[in-house]
Structure 1
């Protein structure tokens, strides 16, 4: 893991993302690419007849804000001795990040702040990128970008392709953890049990423990969240599950639950 894509925007999670990105860059010698998007909605105006047209004033103001944000982040990266580049693309953040993710090893995003209002901008971003990207995502809580890679790592396992993909992508992070626990919620899939995931990690020199959890009255997402909190996991590895836009929500229930409520970083892959 040598390259990382950092989502840069003027939002509440921006500082936490930069904090996490700098820690990853120092740990793995990552070259970071700060990525800004310029969607039409940022400088579009509507007329009384229902038309939409670009506003040069709004465009200039948007560019000024992005320039200031870029200057501030670049100063931090230079001060910390982090190698970096920069991209500013036209289009929605999800589209720009997906375009740039083709030759990056990791994308750094933020958890959701709320689940109100149905399909909102944050859900659009995390959902689209998590489900369509071929690179893994490190999502951090919007108010805390602290990473403890030497602590406890929790791997959510259900024998799916998504869980296996997340496990493979997470090997560089898991290799640094002091304890790796592989949690299964409810009945295991006999063809690919958690012991198989543990055997895979052992081939990479990573020791792990199995943590079976019975499924009772709570949902799988709620059970997983409780396990993450009870074990004091420092980060969680999770397959990103998704549905079509026609069903209104691109993220599955477990992924959504963790992105909304988990107080720790998540390594996601689809």
Structure 2
């Protein structure tokens, strides 16, 4: 029931979208909310000191770690003020890390929570914070709520959309989102290019009805490259406040690569999305 929530507070990007959604959820569900911020250590300047002696390098590394920690502390302090005003149960953590280790660290931390809230990446700006959602999706083992960087205010769960293709990942996201679905006033199952199978959208509606969730199906047929745009178009037309979908990816040389629809959602989402992998 999302009693234990983690929020990643960006240190390089706007913090308000995540803070507003996270605190409102904690208040509404009487949840404990922990927030974590990471300051990223840049080793570019340190590399220029190679050959200058161990003491000079150690001093430069220490100074960069301090600056990174200050950036993390500044981000978490904004959350702390808002959490105190909201009188919620919360905890805070901030630390410095090199970018290559930051994603793994927060992915492991997120495994202890019912849900992790992150900010949508912004591909127009090169920031290490952009890498965090992908790390959480693939490494946390739980649901990730990604908030658009243009979002304002709390999460609106009155109308929830389910991107359904009958896959294991879609089923996982559905189960993870059940607390939102059971409290929604309207639920729409979005079936794109649906084929006959055991886990059809009609069968899903019957399954949801047994849980007390009344849902309708909206079917559409589009070209493969237009799936993500079609889902977002339906969400906008129907005034959905939340989308639920599986987070797809594949391995390549021990790295996780986002699938096409998932990547498209990361880049151009216009509504908060709960994803599970």
The one of 81, 84, 94 aligned to 2:87: 81
8 Å contact 1:42–1:59 — kept in the other structure? no
Q: Cα offset for 1:43?
A: 8.9
Cα-Cα RMSD? 2.6
Match of 1:26 in 2: 27
Aligned residue in 1 for 2:219: 212
- Which residue is 1:236 aligned to? 243
Q: What corresponds to 1:197 in structure 2?
A: 204
> Structure 2 vs 1, CA of residues 78 and 166 (structure 1 numbering), >3 Å: closer, same or farther?
same
**Pairing 1:25-104 to 2, within 5 Å after superposition:** 25-41=26-42, 45-47=46-48, 49=50, 55-89=61-95, 91=97, 92-104=101-113
- For 1:135-146, list aligned pairs within 5 A: 135-146=142-153
Question: Structure 2 CA distance, aligned partners of 1:233 and 1:167?
Answer: 16
Deviation of the 1:49 alpha carbon:
4.6
C-alpha spacing 1:68/1:187, structure 2 compared with 1 (3 Å): closer
Alpha-carbon distance change, 60 to 122 in structure 1, aligned in 2, over 3 angstroms: closer
Check conservation: 1:12, 1:143, Cα contact below 8 A: no
Aligned residue runs from structure 1 range 91-240, under 5 A: 91=97, 92-114=101-123, 121-216=128-223, 219-240=226-247
Cα offset for 1:38?
A: 4.5
Residue 151 of structure 1 contacts residue 179 of structure 1 at CA under 8 Å; is this kept in 2?
yes
Separation (CA, whole Å) in 1 of partners of 2:6 and 2:118: 9
CA distance in 1, matches of 2:135, 2:270: 22
Alpha-carbon contact 1:137-1:269 (below 8 Å) kept: yes
Q: Judge which range, 252-261 or 208-217, deviates more.
A: 208-217
Report which of the two structures shows the higher radius of gyration computed on alpha carbons: 2
Structure 1 alignment gaps of length 5 or more: none
Q: Report the Cα distance in structure 1 between the residues aligned to 2:164 and 2:51, rounded to whole angstroms.
A: 49
* CA deviation map 1:4-46 (0-9, x unaligned): 1110222324211001101111111111111123444379721
Q: When the two structures are superposed, what TM-score results if normalisation uses the length of structure 1?
A: 0.88
Most deviating of 10-19 and 161-170: 10-19
Aligned to 1:12: 13
- Please state how far the C-alpha of 1:90 moved relative to its aligned partner: 5.4
Deviation at 1:83, TM superposition (A): 0.8
- TM-score, length-normalised on structure 2? 0.86
Q: Is the 8 A contact 1:2 1:29 kept in 2?
A: yes
Specify whether residues 121 and 37 from structure 1 end up closer, same or farther in structure 2 by C-alpha distance, changes over 3 A only: closer
Post-superposition Cα deviations, 1:112-163, rounded to whole Å, max 9, x if no partner, equal: 212688xx73553222221222110010011214344342111000011110
Between Structure 1 and Structure 2, how many residues are aligned? Answer: 268
Contact 2:41 2:68 in 1 (8 A): no
Q: Any conservation in 1 of the 2:36–2:76 contact (CA below 8 Å)?
A: no
